[in-house]
Amino acid sequence: MLVLAATQAADAQTLEKMQWYNEPEQWEIKDQSLTMSVTPQSDFWRISHYGFTVDDAPFYYATYGGEFEAKIKVSGDYKVRFDQAGMMIRIDHENYIKAGIEYVDGKYNLSVVVTHHTSDWSVIALERPVEYVWIKAVRRRDAIEIFYSFDDQTYTLMRNAWMQENTPVQIGPMAACPDGKGFQATFEHFKVKHLPDQRRLEWLEKNAE
């Protein structure tokens, strides 16, 4: 029981020690989850297709280096076109990946935006609304794989994207409301696990006695 209590306390402290980029007016951390009122008319996007750049949506992050596995459980009361919530991996305003649920034309979509100076967007339309989704990101060398799950057991790959290696990144929950007046988003069980460096593992294997 003491070990369990210590583990839970450490998880809670992890959320509380993170930082805001574009802090929303209302947010709360309780029982290892973050709930925010998403800032109206906010988004992360650069140039392509629409011709404008915005970088003003709420993002709650911690900084990590090396290779890692990060995951989070995401839910929201999406209301209007482009309402979205998920996880972001970010170097700076020109280099980031955001992945999660995005509400488009009355449907829930699994959504990934990859930005390297300009943004691109890929979606997987869901047949029905879902109460929540798990998003997992795995960074190996110069690539980040994005997975989704509905039960935190079976994960399906939805995107493999380039990101500069050997560079610290900011990781954490993000949400945006480009067209609407805001909505509630909740993020649970955020966790980042460091992974051994893949190149070093291969070197050790080749040079084992």
Tens of pLDDT along 148-189?
999 999 999 999 999 999 999 999 999 999 999 999 999 999
Instruction: Name the strand (E) or helix (H) holding 3.
Output: helix 2-16
| Residues 6+ away with beta carbon under 8 Å from 9 | none
Structure token pair of residue 70: 């990060």
Q: Closest Cα partner for 148 from 162, 132, 164, 163? A: 132
How far apart, in Å, are the Cα atoms of 101 and each of 97, 106, 193? 14, 12, 23
Domain spanning 18-198: which CATH class is it, in words? mainly beta
Contact (Cβ atoms closer than 8 angstroms) between residue 110 and residue 133: yes
pLDDT tens figures, 87-102: 999 999 999 999 999 9
